[in-house]
Structure 1
């Protein structure tokens, strides 16, 4: 039985490597991947602290799970205490606070930006989408477009920069 498992795993590994090499050759030796195609590390769980009554927090968690993250929701009665203890600047606050890979993820940050953060590993405290912009992950309303919003990369020294900009869209 053990030999069968090892053989099966070996064939699976060979198939994955062969497929990757085939794709590389098919793309003339250039690696091409969009940020959504890069998967989140499965060994790390996204731990989300949120109010038990917040529906958009649950919708954001579902967005993250749909994009490959393992997410665990921890309901807390005082979310502001979590934010303060994490050192989150007040101006960057939103409705839920998450942690993964040593970073703070505040608010409705798209999964593709969290994946990019984990892949690039910049020296930063985390990412934030301040407030709750309509149309951001977890804040989508059928028939309504998206407000423009920025994903902010913030550092422990207080410096901030736009990590990703999302323009307004009249309809989704």
Structure 2
């Protein structure tokens, strides 16, 4: 009986470690006064991400250094598993990026589109999410949602 309990405890511990490995850790930089960025962080948390939010007054510089062109920058910049994710990118697309692991710096959804995760309102048009290249070449469309 003791052996069965010990094996059961090991199995449960193993499941706990496996589940902990599945949590994606992300760091999100945002303007200190921006509330929609907090909404986006909450959205990510509800979808299995562990998000550390870091307020900054230097967001444009952080995005630029990560390779995101000024015309593609959103209102926050997130780093997750070696990629930059700029703007209110839906979690489905973030997970696609992390599973496909393309040779790019990351992805960006420019601006603050209505109806995107963390933003209010209804979605009125498809979101065009761009691939941010590592080599300075022009961005290409990564996904449309």
TM-score range for the pair, normalised by the shorter chain length: 0.7 to 0.9
Identify which of 117, 133, 139 aligns with 2:97.
117
**2:86 and 2:107 in contact (8 A); partners too:** yes
Of 108, 124, 142, the match for 1:146? 124
- Quick check: 1:135–1:147 contact (8 Å CA) kept in 2? no
The corresponding residue for 2:143 is 164
- The DSSP-based 3-state class of the residue aligned with 1:138 is coil
- Contact 1:124/1:156, CA 8 A, preserved across alignment: yes
The answer to whether 1:87 aligns with 2:104 is no
Larger relative contact order, structure 1 or 2 (CA cutoff 8 Å, min sep 6): 2
Aligned with 1:105 (options 44, 63, 85): 85
Q: TM-score if structure 2 supplies the norm length?
A: 0.83
Question: Which secondary structure state, in structure 2, belongs to the residue aligned with residue 140 of structure 1?
Answer: coil
For residues 46 and 120 of structure 1, the distance between their equivalents in structure 2, rounded to whole angstroms, comes to 18
Contact 1:47 1:72 in 2 (8 A): yes
Stretches of structure 2 lacking an aligned partner (at least 5 in a row): 16-20
1: distance between equivalents of 2:134 and 2:12? 46
Q: Distance in 2 between matches of 1:164 and 1:84?
A: 21
Deviation at 1:12, TM superposition (A): 8.1
Greater Cα radius of gyration, structure 1 or 2 = 1
Task: Give me the whole-angstrom Cα distance separating, in 2, the residues matched to 1:13 and 1:76.
Answer: 38
Asked if the contact 1:133–1:148 (Cα under 8 Å) also holds between the matched residues in 2, the reply is: no
Query: Cα distance 1:87–1:12, how it changes in 2: closer, same or farther (>3 A)?
Result: closer
| TM-score normalised per structure 1 | 0.71
Residue deviations 1:11-42 (CA, integer Å, cap 9, x gap): 7879xxxxxxxxxxxxxxxxxxxxxxxxx941
Please provide the CA RMSD for this pair: 2.6
User: Any conservation in 1 of the 2:60–2:70 contact (CA below 8 Å)?
Assistant: no
Aligned to 1:33: none
Deviation of 1:162 (Å): 1.8
